[in-house]
Amino acid sequence: MNDFSWSYTLRIAYILAFLDIKQRYRRSFFGPFWITLSTAVMVGAIGLIFGSVLGADMSEFLPFLALGLIFWVYISGILQDCTVAFISSENLIKQVALPLSVYIFRIIFRNALILIHNLLILPFVYLILGKQIDSMIILFIPLSFIIVTIFLFSIGTILAVLCTRYRDLPQVVANIMQVFFYLTPIVWMPSLKPSEIVSYVLQFNVFNYVLSVLRDPFLGINPTSKTIILSLITSFFFFVAYLMLKKYKHRVVYWL
């Protein structure tokens, strides 16, 4: 397994991800754009309802909500898919000696392809509201995606190993992600409901940093401080993932 280069690993992962998308939407006319359509409908419905209830400025709330939902679908999709990354690839793992990281990157690429489709919603939102993205802040976007990808790879690897060993964990993770959906500022803006409880939730919620690092550049906000914090958190989890993969990579096949 150690003979595979990173470039070869990523190439295989991308091919598998592309085949997953192709197989999933086989005989479908719109393909992945069905997800984009459902996300757009959700943005519009939640935007109108929550925007009215909270009395939010739609020119600020709608882009905030759209970016939050789009990136949350990406983040939660990867982490929940990673809980069954090895389990769903049981036959391939038992027959072909590929690095286990291939199956994690396969999920990341698969959800990234869906993310690209969902991002097509943004130009329409910005066009309707007449908003623009700061050309200087937009330079943070590539760095943001790199850091978040490493973070998701690390957490995804840890979840994949643990969930292969303990088969009840995928459902636990799904429930936890549902809780974090409400604890993370996705459909609510912290500025609209400032309180001490909200500040604690934001301070100790790792997904707040992940989402902010991805979303803030699109909103014209400099994410430097949160990027530094997320980089430190990512370094820790990457080290843990490396140790787990090194220790248990030969046992995974026996747990399947």
Residues recorded for the chain: 256
Parent domain of 213: 6-255
Tens of pLDDT, residue by residue over 151-186, are: 999 999 999 999 999 999 999 999 999 999 989 988
- The answer to whether residue 96 sits within a structural domain is yes
Q: Is residue 249 classed as helix, strand or coil in its secondary structure?
A: coil
Angle at 160 between CA 154 and CA 164, to 5 degrees: 155
Does any domain span residue 191? Answer: yes
Is 33 a residue whose pLDDT tops 80? no
Yes or no: say if 20 and 89 are a contact pair by the CB < 8 Å rule: no
| 175-201 mean pLDDT | 81
Would you say residue 1 lies in a domain?
A: no
Residue 12 lies in a domain: yes
Number of domains, the chain:
1
* Percent of the chain as helix, strand, coil, to the nearest 5: 75, 0, 25
Indicate the SS3 state at residue 10.
helix
Q: Who has greater pLDDT, 36 or 218?
A: 218
Quick check: 44 pLDDT over 50? yes
